[in-house]
């Protein structure tokens, strides 16, 4: 057996023990993209005082934890995922005093702040990199990953950057290449260097002392990379580093940690989040996202939506982490398209489909994450020209794809579906100019649908998407079956309908959801047919699960029954 199999076997053994209950099992997390959330000083860029001004909004939704995308000092090549000072705040977002106030105001309302920990790489303006760049003799040289050119003078190997092109850039000063798995301005830190790890842990402790409630860890599966073997994720020491980090920083604190891991499998998720592993609370896995991407062109050419596949992926993760480890649950984030545009019907049935998606996700086992604006049904943005996009990934990919012969129209079509800016247009607070996000011209255009899709309108309508989210969040707090119930899927091969149950202590919750914009008949298995209490529905309440149901377009409901 190799190391990985040994570790996995140990993790599975642990799974046979009862789960230890944690506060974040019942919590709902809300992700704020600070640049686009709320701009109080009118410079067109969202800021920390803006976030503080919306704490009551988040509290009334029922949110427990707020994850902030990076707020640190940064040249903003990748909107803050390129940090030039880990212990300061980007001036456009505010000051450390603003941050401390946000933490304490959140705490006063019973909410915690989770920071984005971006430690796979820094900005090329970070003082460590400025030093490192000075040449091989510099004490910070080994903070980053430098290699001599290949014999032909080209990059040392064929590693690629996620933002297009080689992952290596030649620095003329020393004649060596440095590694950047993202933009040329995001050099990768060398985690094999104990001095790097010690600095990172020191910085993490400094933030923990400020009273934060946790960390979301950016591309954390990359930190064990071994570049000479072209291993990027799941390197041989990845879990050693995470255990060391846990020991030296947050291990003895009761916080929430979630790792962004595009490479995670159900097996490795148990390594990250299994009990007694002393690593993380949970990871974000992306299998339900990438199963819709083209094998060759990735997200720039998506496949037709396949509900059977989606159910099997989500179900696989529910089963795999049912007794040990913990799932995160999400449809969207700042890198993904808007959920209702991707999986629902943003034009025909915007409210019904948004509520259906929320119902399916929030009643699964795991911690739900809501991406800002999802709770009011914000949609993808219909940009028509590349000039309207701001994201470095989209701009780089545009250049590369056009050079490779793709027509500008085709590229925009792909971007309209999957570009990251779909999620990054300003939060739509009201029908006021710029959606009430700012009094100045926003850094990226507001989605033109803000007069009809906005928080003010949603909050006053009892049957709104917003109120549906609010109900779901409250249900999780009230019903342990939603938090800990055993998951079971039904009608796995039904092409249009998602049915699952959750069972705990003589109670069974059955969730039924139609993923189509038309009526769909469904025959329920005998075991599920019984009367019960309808906890939530996006049409009329259903309090009896009969043999033959006809579901309305995007209809979704959950019925709680006693089985004993």
Residues catalogued as catalytic: 218, 260
Distance CA 58, CA 61 (A): 5
Counting contacts by CB under 6 A, is residue 335 touching ligand NOJ? yes
**C-beta closer to ligand NOJ: residue 95 or 162:** 162
Q: Please, what sign has the CA dihedral across residues 197, 203, 206, 210?
A: negative
Long-range residue pairs from 423-426, CB within 8 A, at least 24 positions apart, any chain = 423/33, 423/332, 423/333, 423/334, 423/335, 423/336, 423/337, 423/338, 423/371, 423/373, 424/33, 424/35, 424/36, 424/79, 424/334, 424/390, 424/391, 425/36, 425/378, 425/381, 426/36, 426/37, 426/39, 426/46
Burial class (CB in 10 A: 0-12, 13-18, 19+), 404: exposed
**C-beta closer to ligand NOJ: residue 39 or 78:** 78
Q: How far is the CB of 81 from ligand NOJ (least distance, A)?
A: 3
- Each residue 258-277 as x (binds ligand NOJ by CB under 6 A) or -, in order, gives --x-----------------
Q: How far is the CB of 51 from ligand NOJ (least distance, A)?
A: 18
**C-beta closer to ligand NOJ: residue 268 or 514:** 268
Q: How far is the CB of 116 from ligand NOJ (least distance, A)?
A: 8
Q: How far is the CB of 220 from ligand NOJ (least distance, A)?
A: 10
What are the helix and strand counts (H, E) for the chain? 17, 22
- Each residue 493-512 as x (binds ligand NOJ by CB under 6 A) or -, in order, gives --------------------
In degrees, rounded to 5, the angle at the alpha carbon of residue 381 between the alpha carbons of residues 260 and 363 is 50
**C-beta closer to ligand NOJ: residue 219 or 381:** 219
**C-beta closer to ligand NOJ: residue 49 or 75:** 75
Residue 14 in contact with residue 276, Cβ under 8 Å? yes
Distance CA 375, CA 378 (A): 8
DSSP string, 331-372: S--TTS--HHHHHS-TTTSHHHHHHHHHHHHHTSSSEEEEET
Counting contacts by CB under 6 A, is residue 219 touching ligand NOJ? yes
Counting contacts by CB under 6 A, is residue 218 touching ligand NOJ? yes
Residue 181 in contact with residue 233, Cβ under 8 Å? no
**DSSP 3-state of 495:** coil
**C-beta closer to ligand NOJ: residue 261 or 447:** 261
* Strand spans (E) along 247-388: 256-260, 282-284, 293-294, 298-302, 328-329, 367-371
**C-beta closer to ligand NOJ: residue 216 or 476:** 216
Counting contacts by CB under 6 A, is residue 256 touching ligand NOJ? no
Q: How far is the CB of 43 from ligand NOJ (least distance, A)?
A: 22
Among 39, 64, 78, 374, binds ligand NOJ (CB under 6 A): 78
Q: How far is the CB of 240 from ligand NOJ (least distance, A)?
A: 22
Q: How far is the CB of 183 from ligand NOJ (least distance, A)?
A: 8
Residue 372 in contact with residue 37, Cβ under 8 Å? yes
Counting contacts by CB under 6 A, is residue 472 touching ligand NOJ? no
Count of alpha carbons within 13 Å of 113, Cβ hemisphere only?
28
- Each residue 23-62 as x (binds ligand NOJ by CB under 6 A) or -, in order, gives ----------------------------------------
**C-beta closer to ligand NOJ: residue 146 or 371:** 371
Of 157-216, binders to ligand NOJ (CB under 6 A) are 182
Q: Taking Cα atoms as reference points, which of 543, 495, 544 lies closest to residue 522?
A: 495
Q: How far is CA 62 from CA 58, 109, 407, in A?
A: 7, 11, 45
Q: How far is the CB of 504 from ligand NOJ (least distance, A)?
A: 34
**C-beta closer to ligand NOJ: residue 92 or 218:** 218
Distance CA 122, CA 80 (A): 10
Q: Which residue is nearest to ligand NOJ (CB)?
A: 81
Q: How far is the CB of 194 from ligand NOJ (least distance, A)?
A: 23
Counting contacts by CB under 6 A, is residue 71 touching ligand NOJ? no
**C-beta closer to ligand NOJ: residue 331 or 349:** 331
Q: Which residues contact 493 (CB under 8 A, 6 or more apart)?
A: 308
Q: Please, what sign has the CA dihedral across residues 296, 299, 302, 303?
A: positive
Q: How far is CA 155 from CA 132, 160, 167, 397, in A?
A: 19, 10, 8, 20
Q: Please, what sign has the CA dihedral across residues 86, 92, 93, 96?
A: positive
Distance CA 256, CA 237 (A): 23
Q: Please, what sign has the CA dihedral across residues 526, 530, 534, 535?
A: negative
Other Cβ atoms less than 10 A from the Cβ of 295: the count is 7
Please give the size of the binding site for ligand NOJ, defined by CB under 6 A: 9
Among 81, 284, 466, 487, binds ligand NOJ (CB under 6 A): 81
Q: How far is the CB of 275 from ligand NOJ (least distance, A)?
A: 27
Counting contacts by CB under 6 A, is residue 255 touching ligand NOJ? no
Of 117-136, binders to ligand NOJ (CB under 6 A) are 118
**DSSP 3-state of 214:** strand
Give the residues lining the site for ligand NOJ (CB under 6 A).
Answer: 78, 81, 118, 182, 218-219, 260, 334-335
């Amino acid at each position: 057996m190799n190391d990985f199999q040994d570790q996995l076997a140990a993790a599975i053994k642990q799974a046979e023990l009862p789960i230890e209950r944690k506060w974040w099992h019942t919590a709902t997390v809300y992700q704020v993209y600070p640049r686009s959330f709320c701009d109080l000083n009118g410079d067109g860029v969202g800021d920390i005082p803006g976030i503080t001004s919306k704490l009551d909004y988040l509290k009334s939704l029922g949110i427990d934890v707020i994850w902030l995308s990076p707020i640190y000092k940064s040249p903003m090549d990748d909107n803050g995922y390129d940090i030039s000072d880990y212990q300061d705040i980007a001036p456009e977002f505010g000051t450390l005093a603003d941050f401390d106030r946000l933490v304490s105001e959140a705490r006063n309302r019973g909410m915690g702040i989770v920071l984005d920990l971006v430690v796979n790489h820094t900005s090329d303006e970070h003082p460590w990199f400025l030093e490192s760049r000075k040449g091989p003799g510099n004490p910070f040289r080994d903070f980053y990953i430098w290699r001599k050119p290949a014999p032909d003078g080209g990059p040392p190997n064929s590693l690629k950057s996620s933002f297009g092109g080689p992952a290596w850039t030649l620095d003329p000063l020393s004649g060596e290449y440095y590694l950047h798995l993202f933009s040329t301005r995001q050099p990768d830190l060398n985690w094999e260097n104990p001095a790097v790890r010690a600095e990172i842990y020191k910085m993490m402790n400094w933030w923990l002392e400020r009273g934060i409630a946790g960390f979301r860890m950016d591309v954390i599966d990359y930190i064990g990379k071994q570049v000479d073997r072209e291993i990027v994720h799941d390197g041989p020491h990845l879990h050693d580093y995470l255990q060391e980090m846990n020991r030296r920083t947050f291990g003895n604190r009761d916080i929430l940690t979630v790792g962004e891991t595009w490479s995670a499998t159900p097996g490795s998720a148990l390594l990250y989040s299994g009990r007694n592993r002393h690593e993380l609370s949970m990871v974000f896995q992306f299998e339900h996202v990438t199963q819709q991407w083209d094998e060759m062109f990735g997200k720039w050419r998506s496949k037709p939506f396949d509900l059977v596949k989606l159910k099997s992926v989500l179900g696989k993760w529910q089963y795999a982490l049912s007794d040990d480890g913990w799932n995160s649950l999400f449809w969207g984030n700042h890198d993904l398209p808007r959920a209702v545009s991707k999986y629902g019907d943003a034009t025909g049935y915007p409210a019904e489909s948004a509520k259906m998606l929320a119902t399916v996700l929030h009643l699964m086992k795991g911690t739900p994450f809501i991406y800002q604006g999802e709770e009011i049904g914000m949609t993808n943005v219909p940009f028509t020209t590349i000039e309207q996009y701001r994201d470095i990934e989209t701009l780089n990919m545009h250049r590369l794809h056009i050079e490779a012969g793709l027509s500008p129209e085709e590229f925009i079509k792909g971007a309209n579906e999957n570009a990251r800016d779909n999620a990054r247009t300003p939060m739509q607070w009201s029908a006021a100019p710029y959606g009430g996000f700012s009094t100045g011209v926003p850094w990226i255009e507001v989605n033109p649908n803000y007069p009809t899709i906005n928080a003010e309108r949603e909050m006053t309508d009892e049957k709104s998407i917003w109120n549906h989210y609010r109900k779901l969040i409250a249900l999780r707090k009230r019903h342990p079956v939603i938090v800990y119930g055993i998951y079971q899927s039904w009608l796995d091969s039904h092409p249009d309908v998602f049915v699952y149950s959750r069972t705990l202590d003589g109670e069974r919750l059955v969730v039924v959801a139609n993923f189509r914009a038309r009526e769909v008949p469904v025959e329920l298995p005998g075991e599920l047919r019984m009367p019960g209490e309808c906890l939530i529905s996006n049409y009329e309440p259903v309090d009896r699960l009969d043999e033959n149901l006809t579901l309305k377009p995007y209809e979704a409901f959950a019925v709680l029954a006693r089985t004993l």
